[in-house]
């Protein structure tokens, strides 16, 4: 018998079973590519001094304070961070920064969290989709691989670090573990998700409802306990811990005061509420997510309704990046939409079959929309200039070497993250005091709440303020405290 004839006698099922590893390898490869892509671009901004004080330097300073045993203090808010956000995962990050106190640590974790959505979603889709269908692995690959490249996910990627960037992958893995019956892993992953931010109680609530229907037998009967845990976390974290530590901090609830007529800049009327509900960009983001999943969520309309509460929480906010689903704010919407996508895909396969080529073509809408609508390079809507600045960190370090390590500093926006490893740091001219050293960048990158006009006004007063120039290399200027 020839070798060719022997190969013909091998059953096709045997060939498929021998190549089982190919399917999970594809989302793993996609995740590795996404990790390298996101981290490389974010490091370009970090070292090019186009990072943001809010919330990148803000978070870096809190995490450094934790690593130094100084608690969750934030000099940006002049308050305990736990009174603002309940993000206990900062303790884990602080343990890492105890060994390597660099803002690059946060970018590594953030990039890894976003990249991990591809393999995590693959496991989740495989757990939900019918196991006895030959087209299931193909569709699971097609739906999971593009997720790190979605235009919505690019919004989170370009926003440097937020713990929610890790929460989506944790939640997907928690759901997978519950469906497969891995109880210990499920509970651990639920806790990790909750530790990322107080609003993740909603995500875990969706996990509980999902496992009520699709959970393994030993998990399904305990779905209420997952819901109780989420509710307890909210009551204890938000209702007790945050209230105890607030003391001068702020809460995200202030962004909704316009709904009760307490914001004079945004009058309350039926028209303003209607306009908020249907903000064009927010609607476009949701439409792009649904289109990028080949309309699969529409096959599970009841599950898709679970995306309505986080959508309303975002668009009804008076905080502009949040109410148009920019930056990391879109992330809370993604888990219920991915759940609706998975359930919808399972229902679709009940009445349809897919050839491999057709299944893999399901990747194209998400990738095309990601390139056309995304704002992370090389997407068409990205600002490539933010990622093209040369590495000038060594020059900044030389300029600021004169500043004592424990001295308070007010620095230009893009510089703050490199000066955040201290008890007191703020973005110039916010909270400027006589005791502060001032670090100015002559080609400063400004973002967020920093007003260029206000900055120039304060900059003009520095020579007559009683401060003196300690260092000036033509790019960076270091001013002394008043009277020094």
Q: Which pLDDT belongs to residue 60?
A: 98
pLDDT digits (tens, 9 = 90+) for 234-286: 999 988 988 888 765 566 678 899 998 888 888 899 999 999 999 999 999 99
Whole-angstrom distance, CA of residue 176 vs CA of residue 188: 13
Confirm if 72 and 65 have CB atoms less than 8 A apart.
yes
pLDDT band of 342, cuts 50, 70, 90: very high
Model pTM above 0.95: no
Confirm if 107 and 46 have CB atoms less than 8 A apart.
yes
pLDDT digits (tens, 9 = 90+) for 387-433: 999 999 999 999 999 999 999 999 999 999 999 999 999 999 999 99
Radius of gyration from C-alpha coordinates of the chain: 25
Q: Which residue in this structure is represented by tokens 């609830």?
A: 253
Confirm if 203 and 190 have CB atoms less than 8 A apart.
no
Region 221-232: mean pLDDT is: 95
pLDDT digits (tens, 9 = 90+) for 440-479: 999 999 987 889 999 999 999 999 999 999 999 999 999 9
Closest C-alpha to 421, from 32, 85, 60: 60
Query: Could you tell me which residues are beta bridge partners of residue 97?
Result: none
Instruction: Write out 367-413 in H/E/C secondary structure.
Output: HHHHHHHCCCCCCCCCCHHHHCCCCCHHHHHHHHCCCCCCCCEEECH
Q: Which residue in this structure is represented by tokens 């491999």?
A: 356
pLDDT surpasses 80 at 83: yes
> Residue 324 phi/psi, 5° resolution?
-115, 15
Q: Which residue in this structure is represented by tokens 């995306």?
A: 307
Confirm if 303 and 340 have CB atoms less than 8 A apart.
yes
pLDDT band of 438, cuts 50, 70, 90: very high
> Residue 74 phi/psi, 5° resolution?
-125, 120
pLDDT surpasses 70 at 295: yes
Q: Which pLDDT belongs to residue 265?
A: 85
Q: What is the mean pLDDT of the chain?
A: 93
Q: Which pLDDT belongs to residue 2?
A: 47
Confirm if 468 and 479 have CB atoms less than 8 A apart.
yes
Whole-angstrom distance, CA of residue 225 vs CA of residue 237: 17
Question: How many other C-beta atoms are found inside a 10 Å radius of the C-beta of residue 361?
Answer: 13
pLDDT surpasses 70 at 10: no
Whole-angstrom distance, CA of residue 164 vs CA of residue 171: 10
Whole-angstrom distance, CA of residue 479 vs CA of residue 462: 8
The DSSP secondary structure of 89-133, one letter per residue, reads THHHHHHHHHH---THHHHHHHHHHHHTHHHHHHHHHHHHS-TT-
pLDDT surpasses 90 at 186: yes
Confirm if 379 and 154 have CB atoms less than 8 A apart.
yes
Confirm if 90 and 62 have CB atoms less than 8 A apart.
yes
pLDDT digits (tens, 9 = 90+) for 84-100: 999 999 999 999 999 99
pLDDT band of 5, cuts 50, 70, 90: very low
Q: Which pLDDT belongs to residue 14?
A: 43
Buried b (16+ CB within 10 A) or exposed e, 175-205: bbbbbbebeeebbebbbbbbbbbbbbbbbbb
Whole-angstrom distance, CA of residue 391 vs CA of residue 51: 12
How many angstroms separate the first and last alpha carbons of the chain? 94
Q: Which pLDDT belongs to residue 9?
A: 47
pLDDT surpasses 70 at 16: no
At a CB cut-off of 8 Å and minimum separation 6, what does 361 contact? 142
Region 370-398: mean pLDDT is: 97
Q: Which pLDDT belongs to residue 252?
A: 66
């Amino acid at each position: 018998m020839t070798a060719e004839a022997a190969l013909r006698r091998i059953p096709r099922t045997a060939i498929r079973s021998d190549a089982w590893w190919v399917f999970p390898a594809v989302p793993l490869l996609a995740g590795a590519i996404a990790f390298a892509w996101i981290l490389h671009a974010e490091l370009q901004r970090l070292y090019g001094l186009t990072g943001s004080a809010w919330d990148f330097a803000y978070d870096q300073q809190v995490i450094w304070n934790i690593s130094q045993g100084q608690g969750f203090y934030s000099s940006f808010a002049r308050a305990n961070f736990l009174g603002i956000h309940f993000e206990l995962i900062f303790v884990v990050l602080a343990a890492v920064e105890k060994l390597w106190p660099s803002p690059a640590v946060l970018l590594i974790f953030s990039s890894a969290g976003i990249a991990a959505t591809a393999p995590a979603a693959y496991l989740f889709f495989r757990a939900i989709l019918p196991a006895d269908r030959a087209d299931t692995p193909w569709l699971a690959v097609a739906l999971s691989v593009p997720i790190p490249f979605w235009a919505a996910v690019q919004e989170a990627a370009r926003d440097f670090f937020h713990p929610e960037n890790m929460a989506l992958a944790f939640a997907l893995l928690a759901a997978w573990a519950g469906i497969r019956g891995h109880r210990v892993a499920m509970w651990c992953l639920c806790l990790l998700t909750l530790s990322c931010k107080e609003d993740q109680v909603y995500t875990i609530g969706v996990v509980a409802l999902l496992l009520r229907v699709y959970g393994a037998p030993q998990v399904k009967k305990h779905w209420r306990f997952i819901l109780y845990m989420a509710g307890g976390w909210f009551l204890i974290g938000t209702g007790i811990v945050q209230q105890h530590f607030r003391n001068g901090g702020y809460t995200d609830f202030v962004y909704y005061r316009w709904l009760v007529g307490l914001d004079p800049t945004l009058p309350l009327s039926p028209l303003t509420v209607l306009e908020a509900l249907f903000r064009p960009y927010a609607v476009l983001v949701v439409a792009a997510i649904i289109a990028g999943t080949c309309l699969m969520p529409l096959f599970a309309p009841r599950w898709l309704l679970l995306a309505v509460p986080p959508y309303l929480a975002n668009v009804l906010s008076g905080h502009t990046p949040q109410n148009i689903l920019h930056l990391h704010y879109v992330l809370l919407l993604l888990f219920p939409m991915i759940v609706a996508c998975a359930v919808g895909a399972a229902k679709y396969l009940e009445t349809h079959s897919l050839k491999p080529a057709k299944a893999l073509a399901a990747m194209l809408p998400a990738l095309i929309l990601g390139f056309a609508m995304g704002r992370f390079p090389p997407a068409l809507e990205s600002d490539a200039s933010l990622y093209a600045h040369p590495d000038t960190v060594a020059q900044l370090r030389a300029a600021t070497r004169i500043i004592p390590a424990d001295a308070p500093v007010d620095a230009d926006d893009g510089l703050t993250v490199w000066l955040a490893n201290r008890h007191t740091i703020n973005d110039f001219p916010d909270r400027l005091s006589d005791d502060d050293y001032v670090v100015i960048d002559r080609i400063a990158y400004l973002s967020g709440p920093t007003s260029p006009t206000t900055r120039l006004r304060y900059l003009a007063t520095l020579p007559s303020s009683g401060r003196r120039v300690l260092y000036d290399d033509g790019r960076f200027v270091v001013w002394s405290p008043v009277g020094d």
